[in-house]
Amino acid sequence: MTAILGISAYYHDSAAVLVVDGEIVAAAQEERFTRIKHDFAYPANASAYCLQEAGLEPKDLDYVGFYDKPFLKFERILETYLAFAPVGFRSFLKAMPLWLRQKLHLPREIRRELGGEYRRGVVFTEHHESHAASAFFPSPFDNAAILTLDGVGEWATASMGVGTGNTIQLTHELQFPHSLGLLYSAFTYFCGFKVNSGEYKLMGLAPYGTPRFVDEIFDNLLDLKEDGSFRLDLSYFNYCQGLTMTSRKLDHLFGGPPRAPESPLTQREMDLAASIQKVTEEIVMRIVRHLHSKTGMKNLCLAGGVALNCVSNGRLLREGPFENIWIQPAAGDAGGALGIALFIWHQLLGNERVAQNPDGQSASLLGPQFSDTWIQEYLDRTGSVYHHIPDGTDLDQRIVDLIEAEKVVGLFQGRMEFGPRALGCRSIIGDARSRKMQSVMNLKIKFRESFRPFAPIVMRERVSEYFEMEDEADSPYMLLVADVAQGKRLPVDGEDAEGLDKLKVLRSEVPAITHVDNSARVQTVDPVRHVRLHRLMSEFAGRTGCPVMINTSFNVRGEPIVCSPEHAYHCFMGTDMDVLVLENYLLLKDEQPETAVPDRDGYLAQFELD
């Protein structure tokens, strides 16, 4: 037996992954355990969980791998500082303590964290190699072109290459400070959202705007080549030397300073979001066309934070030139832990790789799960009122009754998802046909910005009926955006709504998941990978004719997705959620004891706004 622990840490989204004899046995992000969103601390809880899942101890590990090369990264930070010195001294000083204390002594730190029981070396890959490995090795392809795109690792901000059999080879890269991820993050910052978490909001905001700044961006901010490579004009940015992302010069270009966080959104931010989305897509399309012409391959694998831009992924799939695309669901840095572990198994140890169908990621359901016994003990201890419904069909019928009555249901079943999206195991679900659901879910359940769209889950066999996608198209990881099918849209009398008023227009038979540009972030649900969820959806479809539901992550704004039944119960009680399903236990809000209702402000205040 060969056990390999992969770790990503000290930047953002720490995670641990355990691979045993080539199989991904367990994977989890540290934030889920510590309840600190994007936690970057050493993933002590996540790695303890991974070992426990396999019944192993640190001394049983054959290899430990770390997802980037700290010395190279340090060199980049040092050189960037020196290039701009003395400007940037403050941000340099801010970064130093963590480097000197931990990052430059990683093997020592890791062995210490493993209780001194692991005495072998630590393997390091480059950041983009980890992303690339996470994109290719679990993919269903024997060979594929690979593209990674993110903010920055050591020096690379994007990399290209090929994967064949059990080997990946990266051949080209784009280097810091020229970075598509950082460009997108700069606009995220400028529009008043948090860097490294607000990017998803910016993408969701784009359909409210018109891309009227595209020319300004291309004319001023970057010099884009035909092959998709580019150079940024650094005078508009501040991330090399300062504590902000953008400079005064950018304020002048876009008619004023950045939007203050949490202040009202104006048309400018919506138009900026639409514009940078268009620019991002143009850059991605050029890179991908170039990669295709260089490699001549028909498959493409993607990872890195930019690969979470599902709008651009949807375009890639529709417009080609690659026939097939596979995207690592944990495309951000958490996925690097998976990449290094698989890299060690295949590339370093030379173990054969047989591409699996539909892929080697097991629906990304790789985290902890909890038994009925565990749950019942917890519920009894807390004095909760519950209904134990051991028969699956009975339970589904009860849940469907409640969803039809426009109740909001927290669904906690099976293993927790690995990656940023909840895929039905730590999800909040509701009726996609309901007109009020979008606003109820945003304002009373998630306590988040009213403009944010919700994603649908759809039974895979009926996906083309509801969305402009091929029959039985596979999108199990909610990484693709497609339009709602023409046949399900409703006539809209002359679209004259502007900005956030667009939300009020009824556009389709499934309004709760139809974004203001008629698009939707689709997750397909099939009976193999999501047995229980598919069965529940069949019950709903049988009753209502509709194979679509809303699926959003089980958390409130700023809170990491729930991991344990305890987190789920607290979130249920801290919000206006009506129903909680914990495996085979069903809880109704109305029946819970008064004493279990927390002070809501206190509950929400423990999570820093994202």
Q: Which residues bind Fe ion (CB under 5 A)?
A: 150, 333
Angle (nearest 5°) at CA 517 between 423 and 223: 95
What tokens does 42 get? 């050493």
β pairing state of 585-588 and 579-582: antiparallel
The minimum distance between CB 247 and Fe ion, in angstroms, equals 24
Three-state DSSP at 175 gives: strand
Q: Closest separation between CB of residue 123 and Fe ion, Å?
A: 18
Q: Which is nearer to Fe ion, 68 or 539 (CB)?
A: 68
- Provide the pairing of β-strand 548-553 with 455-459: antiparallel
Question: What DSSP string describes 457-487?
Answer: EEEGGGHHHHBSS-TT---TTS-EEEEBPGG
**From the CB of 7, what's the least distance to Fe ion, in Å?**
14
Work out how close the CB of 544 gets to Fe ion at its nearest, in angstroms, rounded to a whole number.
42
**Six-digit token string for 103:** 């990052």
Q: How far is the CB of 151 from Fe ion (least distance, A)?
A: 6
- For residue 243, the tally of other CB atoms under 10 A from its CB is 10
Identify which of residues 154 and 333 has a Cβ nearer to Fe ion in the complex. Answer: 333
Which C-beta is closer to Fe ion: that of 477 or that of 607? 477
Cβ neighbours of 385 (radius 10 Å): 13
Q: Kindly list the distances between the CA atom of residue 56 and the CA atoms of 7, 41, 46, in Å, as whole numbers in the listed order.
A: 16, 22, 14
Query: In terms of CB distance, is 53 or 150 closer to Fe ion?
Result: 150
Tell me which amino acid residue 548 is.
Answer: V
By Cβ distance, which residue is nearest to Fe ion?
A: 150
- Complex with Fe ion: residue 150 or 396, whichever CB lies closer: 150
Nearest to Fe ion of 109, 333 (CB atom): 333
Which residue's entry shows tokens 């010395």?
A: 71
Nearer to Fe ion, 128 or 415 (CB): 128
How many whole angstroms separate alpha carbon 567 and alpha carbon 395? 22
The C-alpha atoms of residue 277 and residue 311 are separated, in whole angstroms, by: 8
Q: Report in angstroms the alpha-carbon separations of 315 from 123, 431, 582.
A: 37, 28, 37
Q: How far is the CB of 131 from Fe ion (least distance, A)?
A: 6
The nearest distance, CB 279 to Fe ion, in angstroms, is: 20
Minimum distance, C-beta of residue 333 to Fe ion, in the bound complex (Å):
5
Name the residue nearer to Fe ion (CB basis): 150 or 269: 150
Longest dimension (CA), the chain: 69
Sign of the dihedral through C-alpha 242, 245, 248, 249? positive
Residue 273 has which token pair?
A: 């979001």
